[in-house]
C-alpha cells in the first residue's frame, strides 16, 4: 500500500523507457498507482516523484488536475452517472436521482459497505446511448432504473468481476513494451547533459 | 428526403465482429494501404491527402494536408500525436472507431507518420474509455508482431514506434496544445498559438502534427482509393463523408456516417434510416449542430447542408459532428445551464476570464433556473459573455488563450437571444416554468 | 569578454510599430508590453515579469494588435513587436476587455486591503482604483480558503488573495530550480500549494513574496511590521555575501523592516537569497553591543569610550615599544566598508607599523592568487562557453551567483565542468563532474591535461578537457573544503592557467566585503589598489609615511605566533577565530597566548569574550561608504538607521586610536577617505565619487585599473598525499547558507533554518568499515574526537566524510589541524563510554 510494489516498479521503468522524456510517464505511473491501491496516496506520489526525479509538488500539480485520480480512497465500484446535456434530455437526472435512492448516498459519497462511490459526471461519449452510466468506467448504455438496481445487486454479490475489475484497473491488456527505442532518442531539444 | 448512396468509408467494418482483430482487419483488406504508401514516397502520400482536401474531424476543421505541409523541413525528431480525447458533450464517434476498428486508425497513423517523416507517434486516448485502450493496445501488439510497426517496416528502411497513452479525465486536454502539455506529463493547460503552433513548436518543442482519430481513420481509404475519389464525395468545400452522433429527442438516436454537403440537418434528423424524426411526434425547439461549443440552430436551419462553409456562414459550426436535438418540451434555460456547467467544470483555470467568467455565468444561470434570478441578470449574463468573447460574434473573438472560455458563451447567448421570454418567465415565476 | 561585448554592444536596426496612432521604434524581439512601456505607455499586467518567461495567463495586458490579419485581442506580454504592427492600448475594445479581466480578478478577491500587508503598494488595488468598476455585480459567495498557511519558515500564503498569476510557481521552477510549490486542482478550484509536509524550503523563497502582485504571499519577518506608506527607503548593496546584490533597504521608526531586491543587469536581476533578505533582523537585535567593555579579572564590564580607547592604545603602544611592531597583529576586516578597510590598512602600516594584517580567517585563498589571477565578471562568466567550478557549493555560499550560472546553463547553453570533492547543488547542471580526493585537486588537474589517471574516468576527463580547451573558459575558484589546505586547489588553478592561457577567474571568496578588504590591503604584503608592499612602497611612503620593512603574517601565521607568545597585541577586527578559523585548537591557544586582545564587533562572540577591550561597531544599514563584490565591482552602501548605543563605524575607531598613538590619519569624513583611495590605489584610480553616485554607479563600477602580476611567477606542482591507512576517510567540511555565525543566529527567522551538525558518508564505506550507525557515530582525527548524528548519503564520494562547518554544535573545527594538508578521520561505532562525551 502506498509505494509501488516491486512488479509495478519494473513496469514503471518499462513505461518510462518508451518516452523521449521521463516526465511524460507521469500520468501512466499515476494510473499504475491507482490500479495498485484503488486510489493515489501521498506515498505513491512521493515514490513516483523519485522514479521520475521530480519533486512531489510537481507530481501533485499534475495529479490534481485530472479528475480520474482519486486522492482519497473510494468504493470498490465507482458509479459515474452522466448528466451532461445529451443524457439530461433523455433522463440522466432521473437516473442519477434513482441511483442516489437505490445506493442511499449522494453524489461524491461512498456506501457504508465501501462497495460503491456515486458520482455525477459530465459527458462520457455515449450520447446516442443515453441515459448511461459507467461502473469503473465500463459502459452501461440506455440503462433503465430496474437494470441499474439489478446491476448494483449483482456487483454487491461480487458478480461480473471478469467484466468489471475493481476501481483503478482500467485495462487488462497492456501494450507490450518494445525493446528498441531508436525513435525519439536524443534530439529532444535538451542539452544531453540535462536530458 | 435524400440519403446519398455514398459508400461507408470508415464505419464499413462496424458490423464486422472481428474487425478489431488483425485477422479480421486483414481479411477485409487491411494494411494494403500501408504497403502501397511505403511503396511510393512520403511526398506522394502527402499529395494524395492534400488532393482529398479532408478537413480535420476534431472540431476546428482544418485541412489535414495543409497542416502537414506546415512542418518545417529537416527538423527532427518530429512527432505525430493522435487526438482521441473525445469529450465534447454530444460527441460519440472516436470511441467507436477505437473500439471497433483500431487497426484502421493504426494504419492511418503509420501512413501519416510516413508521410511527415516522424519516427514516433503517440495515440492519446481519453482515460475513461478502457475498452478502447484494450482494443488499441491489443491491435498495437498484433501490428508490432506482424511487422507493421517497428524497425525497417516491410523493408522500407523506415522505422517507427507507436505509443499508446491514456488521459485521466480533463476535457481541455482535447485542445491540441493542452494535449501536448498533458503528454509531457504536465497539467493540461493550453499554450498560446502563436508562438506554440504544434507543427512548429509542439511536443518537447519539436515539430508535431496533432490529428483527430476520425481524420486519420480516413487515411487508409484515401491511399487505397486516391485523394480524388475522396474529394469526389461531398462538395468542393466539404469533401468526403463524416460521422455524426445524433442524440437527444429523436426517435433513432445513433451514429451515422453520411456524405458531406449533400445531406441536410433535416435529412439527418428526419430520414427514417437516420433520426426518424423528433420522438413522440413532438416538434423541434432547437438543436446544437456541432457539439456543446456550437451556437444553437432552430427550425429555420434544418435545410442547411452538412457542410462547413454553409454552417459557418449561418453562425455556428459542425465542430465535432455532434447533433443534439431538443424538442418543444425542453427548458432552454435548463439546457443552456447544463452546457455552461460543463465548460465551468472543465476550464483549466489558466486564463482569468475563463476561470472566473464561466463559473460566474453558471452561478447566474443557476440562480435563474432555481428561481432567484433578477431582471438585470440577463444584461449581466450578456455583459459577462461579452467580456469572455468580445462582441459575441461568430466566429468568436476571445479574451482567453483557447476557445473553451468563449465556448461557454454559445449556449447563453443563443438561448437568451431566442428564448428571452422563457428567461423572463423563470424570473417572475420564481423558478422553472417547465417542471 | 569578446563574446558578450559583441552580443551586447551590437545594436540591431529597430522595428517600427504604430502605438495608439503614433509610430515608435522598438528593439527586434522586444515584447509589445515592453516596447510600449519604453514609449511611455504602461499596459497593466499581473503575470508578466521581465525576468521570467511570459505565460500570458492573467490576460490583464490584452490589447488590440493588428499584424496584418485585422485587429485581435492579444496578450502584449507574449507578442514580440513586428515591423508595421498596429497596437491599440486605449481603444474601447481594449479598455472593455481589460476592465472585464479586472472585474473577473476581483469577484473572488477579498476586500481586506486595509489589513493587507500589500495594501498601498498593490497593483491590483491600484488598477482597481484607477479603472476598476465600482459596485460589485458579483452577489455570490466568494471562494473561501483557510486564511494564511505557512508554506515555509519564512513565507505565508493567503490563497483567497491569490490571483493565480503563476509568478511564484514559475519562479520556484524556472529561476530557483526548487519546484516545491505548484498549482493544485483545476479551473475555479485551482490554488497554489506545497505537497503535504514538503514545505517550500528554498533559499530563494523570499523572492516570491517580492514578486507576488497581490498580498497573497507575505514574509513572516515582515508581516504587520509596518505599512508601506510609513516606510522609508534607500538603495544599498547587500553584504551578506560577496555577490553584492543591490537592495532597497526599508525602515520604520529607526528599525530595519524589509529588504527588496533591486534589478541590476550586471548582478542580481532583482533576486536575493533569503539570508540576505531577512538577516536585517540581526541588525535590530537586542544583543548588539552598545557600549565599550573592558576586562576586570575574569569579567568584561561596561566602560566608556575614553577609558576603553585609553586602555587599548596604551596596550598597543606598549607592545610596539617593548617588542616592536611585529608583535602587533590584526585579524579580520571583511565586515568593513572599503573606506574603513583602507583606514585600518593605513593605521596598521603607518601608525602601528605592522604588516601582519589579514581579512581572511584561514578559510580563504592566498591573496596573491585572489588578487593576481586574470579576472572575469559575473556577466562574462555566464557568457563564457565553459565554466570550471573549482569552488565551494555556490548555492550554499554565493546563492545569487548560483542563480545566474544556473540560468546560463539552462537557458543559454553554458557548459559546466565541476571539479569537486563531492556532489554539490551544481552537479545536476554540470556537463562533466570530476571528483578528487580531498587534498588532490592538483593531481586531478594534472591528469586532466596529461590524460593520466584511472581508466574509468578517462572518458570524463576527455570531455572535460575538450570543453575547457574549447575557448572562452572561466574558472570559479574557491575553497570547497576547509578541511584541506588551500595549496592543492591553488596548484590546480595554476595548472589551468598554464594549459589554458586565455582562462579567466571569478574568485569565490564569500565573506561580505572580503574582496574590498583585500583590495584595500588588509592582507600581508599588499597595499591598497592591489600593489605589493614593494611596488607601492615609494608612492605610499610619500602619502602615509614609514611603511613596515618586512612582509607580515597571515591569519594562520599570526595565530601560530600568538600561540607561541610572540604576539603582544592582537586586534580582532570583527573576526571570531574560535568560530571561523578551521583549526579551533590553534585559535584557542592563540587567544590565550596573545598578550592583549582588542575586539571590535557588533556582538559578544566567543572570541570577543576572550578580549581585554571591546569596542561596539556600527554595521550594515548603519553606515555609508562603498563595498566591493566578487567581481571587484565597487558599489555604494547607504545608511538607513542609526547604530545602537554608542557604537561607531570601524574607521572612526581607527582614527581615535591613531590619535592617542600620536598619529593622524587625516580623515574627517567617509568622502575624504574615498577620495584618497581614488588618488592612491592604482586599481581604483578613475572610480571617482561623482561616477559612483551617477547612474552608472547604480550597477557599481568594476575596479580593474591594476592587478599584480604574481601568478606566472608561481609554478604548478601536484602533490599526492597518501592515505594513512585503509580505514581512514578524508574529511570534507564546507559551509551551509544557514550556519552558526552571529548574523544567522541573531536573526530569529533564520536561526532555526541551520541544519545543525550532520555527518554524511557513503553507505558503501560505512559497510566496508563495519560501522553500525544507529544514527550517531564517533569521528576521530589526530586533533580530537566528536560524536555526531550520521546520514548515509550516496552523493558523498567514497573515501570521504562530510561534516558541515560551523553548524550549531558542530565539531568540525575540533577535528582539523591547519598544519596538515588534509584531515584524515576514522568513523567508528559509538561505544558505551562515548555517550557522555557528545555535546
Ligand atoms: C476546448 C477544446 C477541446 C477540444 N477537444 C478535442 C477532442 O476531444 N478531440 C479532438 O480530436 N479535437 C479536439 N479539439 C480540437 C483540437 O484542438 C485540434 O484542432 C484537433 O485535434 C486537430 O485534429 P484535426 O485537424 O484532425 O481535427 C478541441 C479543441 C478545443 C479548443
Ligand atoms: S480559455 Fe479556459 S480552458 Fe482555455 S486556456 Fe484559458 S482557462 Fe484554460
Ligand atoms: S501580463 Fe500579459 S497575460 Fe498577464
Whose grid coordinates read 535538451? Answer: A190
Choose the residue to mutate in B127, B171, B173, B176 for probing ligand 1, maximizing ligand atoms within 8 Å of C-beta. B176
> Does any CB of chain A come closer than 8 Å to the CB of residue B326?
yes
Which among B10, B53, B60, B91 is the best mutation to test ligand 1's pocket, defined by most ligand atoms within 8 Å of the CB?
B60
Compare CB distances from C104 to B345, B353, B390 and report the shortest one's residue.
B353
Centre a 10 Å sphere on the Cβ of residue C191 and count the other Cβ atoms it contains: 17
What residue's CA is closest to ligand 2, atom 8? B348
DSSP single-letter state for residue A127: G
Atom index in ligand 1 nearest the CA of residue B216 equals 26
Chain B residues closer than 8 Å to C137 by CB: 380
* Interface touch A127/B91, C-beta < 8 Å: yes
Residue B177 Cα to ligand 1 midpoint, Å, equals 9
Indicate the residue of C56, C96, C140 with minimum beta-carbon distance to B390.
C96
Instruction: Tell me how far CA of residue C457 lies from CA of A146, B135, C415, C462, C473, in angstroms.
Output: 73, 49, 19, 9, 22
| Chain A residue numbers touching B134 (CB-CB < 8 A) | 171-173
Q: Can you tell me the distance from the alpha carbon of C111 to that of C218, in angstroms, rounded to the nearest whole number? A: 17
Rounded CA-CA distance C69/C74 in Å is: 13
For chain B, percent of residues with pLDDT exceeding 90: 98
DSSP strand pairing (C785-792 vs C776-780): antiparallel
Q: How many Cα atoms occupy the beta-carbon half-sphere of B414 within 13 Å? A: 29
Mean pLDDT for C25-31 is 95
Q: Are C62 and C95 a contacting pair, CB within 8 Å?
A: no
CB spacing of C198 vs A56 below 8 angstroms = yes
Looking at all shown ligands, the one closest to residue C60's CA atom is: 3
Note whether C247 and C258 are within 8 A (CB): no
**CB contact, 8 Å: A68 with chain C?**
no
If pLDDT is split at 50, 70 and 90, which confidence band does C720 have?
Answer: low
Query: Rounded to an integer, what distance in angstroms lies between the CA atom of residue B203 and that of residue B199?
Result: 9
Task: Kindly give, in sequence order, each residue whose CB lies less than 8 Å from that of residue A140, ignoring residues fewer than 6 positions away.
Answer: A132, A133, A134, A147, A148, A151
Q: Is C168 on the interface with A (CB under 8 A)?
A: no
**pLDDT for position C12:** 59
C114-128 average pLDDT score: 88
Ligand with the closest atom to the CA of B353? 2
pLDDT at C837: 45
Question: Any CB–CB contact under 8 A between B185 and chain C?
Answer: no
**What average pLDDT score do residues A11-21 get?**
95
Question: Shortest Cα distance from A117 to chain B (angstroms)?
Answer: 16
Mean pLDDT across chain B: 97
Cβ separation B356–C105 shorter than 8 A? yes
**C410 in B contact zone (CB under 8 Å):** no
Mean pLDDT of chain C: 93
Q: State how far the Cα of B126 lies from the Cα of A139, in Å rounded to an integer.
A: 14
pLDDT digits (tens, 9 = 90+) for C441-462: 999 999 999 888 788 889 999 9
Cα B148-B150-B151 angle, rounded to 5 deg: 115
Show the cell assigned to C401. 551567483
B174 alpha carbon – ligand 1 mean position (Å): 5
Contact criterion met (CB below 8 Å) for C238 and C244 = yes
DSSP string, C322-334: HH-GGGEEEEE-T
List B residues 225-254 in contact with A (Cβ-Cβ < 8 A): 245-249, 253-254
Tell me what pLDDT residue C221 has: 86
| Least reliable range by pLDDT among A65-74, C238-247, C263-272, C775-784 | C775-784
Q: Is the CB of residue B362 below 6 angstroms from any atom belonging to ligand 1?
A: no
**How many residues are there in chain A?**
195
**Rounded percentage of chain C residues whose pLDDT exceeds 90:** 85
Q: Which of A45, A50, A57 to mutate to test the interface with C (most CBs of C within 10 A)?
A: A57
- C27 CA to centre of ligand 3 in angstroms: 20
Which of B89, B126, B412, B415 to probe the A interface (max A CBs under 10 A)?
B89
Q: Which of A16, A18, A48, A65 to mutate to test the interface with B (most CBs of B within 10 A)?
A: A65
For a mutational test of ligand 1's pocket, the pick from B122, B174, B395, B404, i.e. the residue with the most ligand atoms closer than 8 A to its C-beta, is B174
Any chain B CB within 8 A of the CB of C44? no
pLDDT of residue C49: 97
Query: C450 Cβ partners below 8 Å, 6+ apart?
Result: none
* Residue A175 DSSP label: P
Does residue B379 have a pLDDT over 90? yes
pLDDT (tens digit per residue) in C464-510: 999 999 989 999 999 999 999 999 999 999 999 999 999 999 999 99
The mean pLDDT of C547-570, rounded to a whole number, is 97
Query: Residue A192 above 60 pLDDT?
Result: no
Query: What pLDDT band is residue C133 in, cutting at 50, 70 and 90?
Result: low
User: Do A54 and C180 count as a contact with CB atoms less than 8 A apart?
Assistant: no
Q: Residue C54 Cα, ligand 3 centroid: separation in angstroms?
A: 8
The Cα C111–Cα C161 span in angstroms is: 9
pLDDT in tens, C283-336: 999 999 999 999 999 999 999 999 999 999 999 999 999 999 999 999 999 999
Cβ-defined contact of C179 to A59 (cutoff 8 Å): no
From B265's Cα to the closest Cα of chain A, the distance in A is 16
B346 touches chain C (CB under 8 A): yes
Q: Which residues of A touch B324 (CB under 8 A)?
A: 85-86, 89, 127
Residues of C in contact with B348 (CB under 8 A): 186-187
Structure letter (DSSP) for residue C43: P
Rounded to the nearest whole angstrom, what is the distance from the C-alpha of residue B62 to the centroid of ligand 1? 10
The per-residue pLDDT for range C65-112, each reduced to its tens digit, is 999 999 999 999 999 999 999 999 999 999 999 999 999 999 999 988
Residue whose C-alpha is closest to residue C516's, from C758, C771, C341: C341
pLDDT of residue C135: 74
CA distance C749 to C153: 7
Q: Which three cell numbers stand for residue C521?
A: 590591503
User: In this complex, is the C-beta atom of C105 within 8 Å of any C-beta atom belonging to chain B?
Assistant: yes
Measure C521 CA to ligand 2 centroid, in angstroms.
61
Asked if A184's CB is within 8 angstroms of B119's CB, the reply is: yes
Note the pLDDT of residue C772: 76
Query: B352 CA distance to ligand 3 centroid (A)?
Result: 10
In the prediction, which pLDDT does C131 show? 67
What pLDDT does C500 receive? 94
Closest alpha carbon to C634 in C516, C522, C727: C516
Distance from CA of C693 to the nearest CA of B (A): 43
The stretch B282-288 carries a mean pLDDT of 98
A55, A67, A189: best to mutate for the C interface, most C CBs within 10 A: A55
Residue of C157, C173, C184, C459 to mutate for A, most A C-beta atoms under 10 A: C184
- State in Å, rounded, how far the first CA of chain B is from the last one: 35
> A132 and B128 in contact (C-beta within 8 Å)?
no
Across the interface, of C179, C193, C413, the residue whose CB is closest to A191 is C413
pLDDT digits (tens, 9 = 90+) for C324-373: 999 999 999 999 999 999 999 999 999 999 999 999 999 999 998 999 99
Give yes or no for C131 touching A (CB within 8 A). no
- In this prediction, residue C714 has a pLDDT band, given cuts at 50, 70 and 90, of low
Does the beta carbon of C58 lie under 8 angstroms from any beta carbon of chain B?
yes
pTM above 0.90, yes or no: yes
Mean pLDDT calculated for residue range C539-547: 96
Whole-complex ipTM: 0.95
pLDDT at C617 over 50: yes
If you count residue pairs, one on A and one on B, with CB atoms under 8 Å apart, how many are there? 197
**Minimal Cα–Cα distance from A167 to chain C, Å?**
21
Dump pLDDT digits (tens) for B118-139. 999 999 999 999 999 999 999 9
Please write the tens of the pLDDT for every residue from B339-376.
999 999 999 999 999 999 999 999 999 999 999 999 99
Q: Which atom of ligand 2 is nearest to the CA of B348?
A: 8
The answer to whether the beta carbons of residues B323 and B288 sit under 8 Å apart is: yes
Confidence at residue B424, expressed as pLDDT on a 0 to 100 scale: 98
Beta bridge partners of C296: C299
Count other Cβ atoms within 10 Å, centred on residue C199.
Answer: 16
| A145 sits in which H/E element | helix A145-156
Amino acid at each position: 500500500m502506498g509505494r509501488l510494489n516491486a512488479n509495478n516498479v519494473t513496469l514503471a521503468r518499462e513505461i518510462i523507457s518508451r518516452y523521449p522524456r521521463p516526465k511524460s510517464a507521469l500520468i501512466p505511473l499515476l494510473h499504475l498507482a491507482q490500479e495498485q491501491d484503488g486510489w493515489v496516496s501521498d506515498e505513491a506520489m512521493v515514490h513516483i516523484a523519485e522514479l521520475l526525479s521530480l519533486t512531489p509538488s510537481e507530481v501533485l500539480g499534475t495529479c490534481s488536475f485530472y479528475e480520474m485520480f482519486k486522492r482519497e480512497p473510494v468504493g470498490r465500484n465507482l458509479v459515474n452517472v452522466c448528466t451532461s446535456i445529451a443524457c439530461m434530455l433523455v433522463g440522466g437526472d432521473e437516473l442519477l436521482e434513482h441511483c442516489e435512492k437505490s445506493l442511499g448516498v449522494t453524489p461524491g459519497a461512498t456506501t457504508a459497505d465501501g462497495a460503491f462511490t456515486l458520482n455525477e459526471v459530465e459527458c462520457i461519449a455515449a450520447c446516442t446511448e443515453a441515459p448511461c452510466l459507467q461502473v469503473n468506467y465500463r459502459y452501461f448504455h440506455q440503462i433503465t432504473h430496474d437494470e441499474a438496481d439489478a446491476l448494483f445487486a449483482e456487483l454487491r454479490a461480487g458478480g461480473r468481476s471478469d467484466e468489471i475489475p475493481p476501481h483503478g484497473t482500467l485495462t487488462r491488456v497492456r501494450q507490450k513494451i518494445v525493446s528498441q527505442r531508436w525513435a525519439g532518442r536524443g534530439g529532444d531539444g535538451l542539452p544531453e547533459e540535462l536530458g | 428526403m435524400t440519403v446519398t448512396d455514398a459508400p461507408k468509408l470508415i464505419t464499413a467494418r462496424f458490423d464486422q465482429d472481428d474487425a478489431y482483430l488483425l485477422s479480421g482487419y486483414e481479411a477485409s483488406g487491411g494494411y494494403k494501404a500501408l504497403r502501397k504508401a511505403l511503396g511510393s514516397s512520403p511526398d506522394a502520400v502527402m499529395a494524395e491527402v492534400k488532393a482529398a482536401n479532408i478537413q480535420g474531424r476534431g472540431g476546428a476543421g482544418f485541412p489535414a494536408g495543409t497542416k502537414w505541409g506546415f512542418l518545417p523541413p529537416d527538423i527532427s525528431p518530429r512527432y505525430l500525436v493522435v487526438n482521441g480525447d473525445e469529450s465534447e458533450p454530444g460527441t460519440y464517434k472516436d470511441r467507436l472507431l477505437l473500439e471497433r476498428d483500431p487497426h484502421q486508425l493504426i494504419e492511418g497513423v503509420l501512413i501519416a507518420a510516413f508521410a511527415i517523416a516522424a519516427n514516433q507517434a503517440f495515440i492519446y486516448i481519453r482515460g475513461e474509455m478502457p475498452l478502447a485502450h484494450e482494443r488499441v493496445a491489443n491491435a498495437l501488439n498484433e501490428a508490432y508482431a506482424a511487422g507493421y510497426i517497428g524497425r525497417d517496416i516491410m523493408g522500407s528502411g523506415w522505422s517507427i514506434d507507436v505509443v499508446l497513452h491514456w488521459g485521466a479525465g480533463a476535457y481541455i486536454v482535447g485542445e491540441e496544445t493542452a494535449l501536448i502539455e498533458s503528454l509531457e506529463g504536465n497539467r493540461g493547460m493550453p499554450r498560446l498559438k502563436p508562438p506554440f503552433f504544434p507543427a512548429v513548436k509542439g511536443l518537447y518543442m519539436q515539430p508535431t502534427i496533432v490529428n483527430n482519430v476520425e481524420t486519420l481513420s480516413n487515411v487508409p481509404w484515401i491511399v487505397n482509393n486516391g485523394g480524388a475519389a475522396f474529394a469526389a464525395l461531398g462538395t468542393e468545400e466539404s469533401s468526403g463523408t463524416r460521422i455524426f452522433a445524433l442524440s437527444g429527442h429523436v426517435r433513432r438516436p445513433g451514429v451515422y456516417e453520411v456524405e458531406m454537403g449533400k445531406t441536410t440537418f433535416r435529412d439527418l434528423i428526419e430520414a427514417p434510416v437516420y433520426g426518424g424524426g423528433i420522438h413522440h411526434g413532438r416538434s423541434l425547439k432547437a438543436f446544437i449542430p456541432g457539439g456543446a461549443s456550437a451556437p444553437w440552430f432552430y427550425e429555420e436551419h434544418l435545410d442547411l447542408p452538412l457542410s462547413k462553409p454553409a454552417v459557418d456562414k449561418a453562425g455556428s459550426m459542425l465542430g465535432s459532428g455532434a447533433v443534439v436535438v431538443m424538442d418543444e418540451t425542453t427548458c432552454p434555460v435548463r439546457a443552456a445551464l447544463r452546457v455552461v456547467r460543463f465548460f465551468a467544470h472543465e476550464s483549466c483555470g489558466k486564463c482569468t476570464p475563463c476561470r472566473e467568467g464561466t463559473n460566474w455565468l453558471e452561478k447566474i444561470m443557476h440562480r435563474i433556473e432555481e428561481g432567484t434570478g433578477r431582471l438585470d441578470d440577463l444584461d449581466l449574463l450578456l455583459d459577462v459573455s461579452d467580456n469572455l468573447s468580445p462582441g459575441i460574434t461568430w466566429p468568436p473573438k476571445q479574451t482567453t488563450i483557447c476557445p473553451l472560455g468563449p465556448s461557454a458563451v454559445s449556449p447563453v447567448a443563443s438561448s437568451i437571444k431566442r428564448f428571452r421570454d422563457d428567461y423572463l418567465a423563470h424570473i417572475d415565476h420564481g423558478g422553472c416554468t417547465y417542471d | 569578454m569578446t563574446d558578450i561585448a559583441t552580443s551586447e554592444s551590437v545594436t540591431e536596426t529597430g522595428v517600427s510599430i504604430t502605438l495608439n496612432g503614433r509610430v515608435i521604434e522598438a528593439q527586434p524581439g522586444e515584447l509589445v508590453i515592453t516596447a510600449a512601456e519604453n514609449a511611455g505607455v504602461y499596459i497593466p499586467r499581473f503575470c508578466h515579469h521581465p525576468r521570467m518567461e511570459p505565460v500570458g495567463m492573467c490576460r490583464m495586458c490584452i490589447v488590440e494588435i493588428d499584424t496584418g490579419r485585422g485587429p485581435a485581442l492579444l496578450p502584449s506580454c507574449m507578442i514580440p513587436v513586428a515591423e508595421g504592427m498596429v497596437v491599440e492600448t486605449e481603444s474601447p475594445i481594449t479598455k472593455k476587455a481589460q476592465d472585464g479581466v479586472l472585474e473577473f480578478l476581483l469577484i473572488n478577491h477579498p476586500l481586506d486591503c486595509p489589513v493587507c500587508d500589500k495594501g498601498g503598494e498593490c497593483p491590483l488595488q491600484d488598477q482597481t482604483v484607477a479603472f476598476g468598476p465600482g459596485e460589485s455585480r458579483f452577489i455570490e459567495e466568494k471562494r473561501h480558503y483557510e486564511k494564511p498557511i505557512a508554506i515555509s519558515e519564512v513565507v505565508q500564503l493567503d490563497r483567497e488573495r491569490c490571483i493565480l498569476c503563476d509568478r511564484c510557481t514559475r519562479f520556484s521552477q524556472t529561476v530557483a530550480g526548487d519546484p516545491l510549490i505548484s498549482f493544485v486542482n483545476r479551473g475555479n478550484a485551482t490554488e497554489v500549494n506545497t505537497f503535504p509536509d514538503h514545505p517550500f524550503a528554498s533559499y530563494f523563497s523570499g523572492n516570491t513574496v517580492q514578486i507576488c502582485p497581490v498580498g497573497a504571499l507575505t514574509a513572516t519577518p515582515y508581516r504587520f511590521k509596518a505599512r508601506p506608506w510609513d516606510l522609508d527607503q534607500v538603495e544599498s548593496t547587500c553584504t551578506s555575501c560577496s555577490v553584492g546584490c543591490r537592495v532597497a533597504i526599508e525602515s520604520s521608526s529607526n528599525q530595519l523592516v524589509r529588504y527588496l531586491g533591486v534589478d541590476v543587469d550586471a548582478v542580481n536581476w532583482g533576486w536575493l537569497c533569503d539570508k540576505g533578505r531577512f538577516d536585517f533582523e540581526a541588525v535590530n537585535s537586542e544583543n548588539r553591543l552598545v557600549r565599550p567593555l573592558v576586562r576586570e579579572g575574569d569579567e568584561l564590564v561596561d566602560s566608556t569610550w575614553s577609558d576603553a580607547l585609553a586602555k587599548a592604545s596604551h596596550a598597543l603602544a606598549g607592545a610596539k615599544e617593548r617588542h616592536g611592531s611585529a608583535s602587533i597583529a590584526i585579524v579580520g576586516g571583511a565586515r568593513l566598508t572599503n573606506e574603513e578597510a583602507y583606514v585600518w590598512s593605513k593605521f596598521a602600516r603607518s601608525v602601528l607599523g605592522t604588516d601582519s594584517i589579514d581579512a581572511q580567517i584561514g578559510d580563504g585563498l592566498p591573496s596573491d592568487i585572489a588578487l593576481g589571477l586574470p579576472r572575469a565578471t559575473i556577466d562574462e562568466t555566464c557568457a563564457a562557453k565553459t565554466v570550471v567550478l573549482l569552488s565551494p557549493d555556490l548555492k550554499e555560499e554565493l546563492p545569487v551567483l548560483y542563480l545566474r550560472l544556473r540560468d546560463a546553463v539552462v537557458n543559454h547553453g553554458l557548459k559546466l565542468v565541476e571539479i569537486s570533492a563531492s556532489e554539490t547543488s551544481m552537479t545536476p547542471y554540470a556537463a562533466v563532474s570530476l571528483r578528487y580526493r580531498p587534498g588532490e585537486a592538483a593531481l586531478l588537474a594534472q591528469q586532466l591535461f596529461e590524460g593520466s589517471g584511472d581508466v574509468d574516468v578517462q572518458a570524463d576527463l576527455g570531455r572535460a578537457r575538450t570543453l575547457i580547451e574549447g575557448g572562452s573558459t572561466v574558472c570559479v575558484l574557491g575553497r570547497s573544503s576547509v578541511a584541506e589546505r588551500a595549496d592543492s586547489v591553488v596548484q590546480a588553478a595554476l595548472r589551468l592557467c598554464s594549459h589554458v592561457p586565455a582562462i579567466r577567474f571569478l574568485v569565490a571568496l564569500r565573506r561580505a566585503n572580503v574582496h574590498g578588504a583585500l583590495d584595500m590591503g588588509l592582507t600581508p604584503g599588499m597595499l591598497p589598489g592591489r600593489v605589493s608592499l614593494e611596488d607601492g612602497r615609494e608612492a605610499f611612503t610619500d602619502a602615509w609615511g614609514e611603511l613596515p620593512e618586512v612582509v607580515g603574517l597571515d591569519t594562520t601565521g599570526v595565530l601560530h605566533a600568538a600561540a607561541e607568545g610572540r604576539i603582544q597585541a592582537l586586534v580582532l577586527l570583527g573576526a571570531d577565530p574560535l568560530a571561523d578559523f578551521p583549526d579551533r585548537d590553534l585559535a584557542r591557544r592563540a587567544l590565550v597566548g596573545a598578550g592583549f586582545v582588542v575586539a571590535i564587533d557588533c556582538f559578544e562572540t566567543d572570541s570577543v569574550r576572550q578580549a581585554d577591550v571591546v569596542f561596539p561597531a556600527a554595521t550594515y544599514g548603519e553606515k555609508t561608504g562603498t563595498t566591493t563584490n566578487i567581481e571587484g565591482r565597487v558599489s555604494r552602501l547607504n545608511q538607513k538607521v542609526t547604530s545602537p548605543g554608542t557604537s561607531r563605524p570601524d574607521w572612526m575607531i581607527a582614527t581615535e586610536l591613531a590619535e592617542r598613538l600620536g598619529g593622524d590619519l587625516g580623515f574627517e569624513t567617509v568622502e575624504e577617505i574615498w577620495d584618497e583611495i581614488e588618488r592612491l590605489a592604482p586599481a581604483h584610480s578613475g572610480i571617482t565619487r561623482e561616477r559612483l553616485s551617477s547612474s552608472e554607479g547604480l550597477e557599481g563600477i568594476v575596479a580593474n585599473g591594476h592587478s599584480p602580476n604574481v601568478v606566472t611567477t608561481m609554478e604548478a606542482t601536484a602533490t599526492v598525499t597518501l592515505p594513512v591507512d585503509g580505514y581512514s576517510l578524508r574529511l570534507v567540511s564546507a559551509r551551509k547558507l544557514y550556519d552558526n555565525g552571529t548574523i544567522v543566529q541573531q536573526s530569529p527567522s533564520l536561526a532555526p533554518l541551520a541544519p545543525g551538525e550532520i555527518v554524511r558518508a557513503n553507505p558503501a564505506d560505512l559497510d566496508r568499515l563495519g560501522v553500525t550507525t544507529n544514527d550517531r557515530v564517533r569521528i576521530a582525527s589526530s586533533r580530537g574526537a566528536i560524536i555526531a548524528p550520521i546520514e548515509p548519503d550516496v552523493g558523498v564520494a567514497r573515501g570521504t566524510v562530510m561534516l558541515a562547518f560551523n553548524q550549531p554544535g558542530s565539531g568540525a573545527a575540533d577535528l582539523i589541524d591547519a598544519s596538515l594538508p588534509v584531515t584524515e578521520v576514522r568513523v567508528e561505532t559509538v561505544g558505551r563510554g562515548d555517550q557522555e562525551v557528545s555535546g
